[in-house]
Chain A
Amino acid sequence: MKWRELHNETNTTHPQWSECVHYINNLPESDQKRRNRAKQLFLYLIINDAMSYEPEFIEVQLHQLFEHVSQLASFHLTEEKDNHHG
């Protein structure tokens, strides 16, 4: 990731990454997978210069999508099991 810092500043971090780290740290510690998913997506967006929205908005959308796909995957697996037993 690339960013600019003023000559009178040292040891700065990428401004958007700082916001992301702050957001990730506020996510429940018990949900490590959710934290990792958020971290991976934020890094991808920052590196590709595509971080157009607030971290919270992006992560909430991602989490909702994940929950939805998780339900579909669960349904699909149960159906597969039923077909197998039937």
Chain B
Amino acid sequence: MVENISGYSRSKQLNNIGFPGSRRRSLSINSNFMDNHQMAEEVTVVSLLLPHDITNVEKWLIAQTSKMGCHTITEAEKKLTLPGDKLLVSRSNDDLVDGSLSIVDTVRNALILARCNDCFYMPGSPFILTRKRLDRSLQLIKVNIKNYYDLD
């Protein structure tokens, strides 16, 4: 069989590419600017492990809120104390063991995670109830503005 040498080829064989061969190098990096305690006033880890069999996250959360005596998510939000400041979000390496949280903590964490995008926790923002948002482990960082900007 003749190889297609002019353009796209499905062959996994590396043909003569016109210059000395090279190898791929990779380096894992873990760097967090907020590791420094001077920069972060407060760091809290919020995580949730959603059961695998859930198809409707909103229904599941409402079922959880009803276990703590609330009929709606808004009612549960009023009952719980969610952070009132805008916080920085960073991925956490802490894994959560299934079933290790109480109902109140599960609902609280779910509501916080539903308000976190990839960068921030925004108080007052709408709850986005998707598996991608809730099934995470995040660090919520309160930045020490004075130290961060070297203010007196």
Chain A interface residues (CB < 8 Å from chain B): 1-8, 12, 14, 33, 36-37, 39-40, 43, 47, 66, 69-70, 73-74, 77
Contact = CB atoms under 8 A, between A and B. Distances in A.
B24 interface: yes
B97 interface: no
Interface residues on chain B, size class: 10 to 19
Interface stretch (B4-12, B46-54, B103-111, B143-151): B143-151
B151 A70 contact: yes
A37 B150 CA distance: 13
A25 B29 CA distance: 19
Contact of B31 (A3, A33, A40, A70): A40
A66 B146 CA distance: 13
Nearest to A37: B33
B91 to A, nearest CB: 13
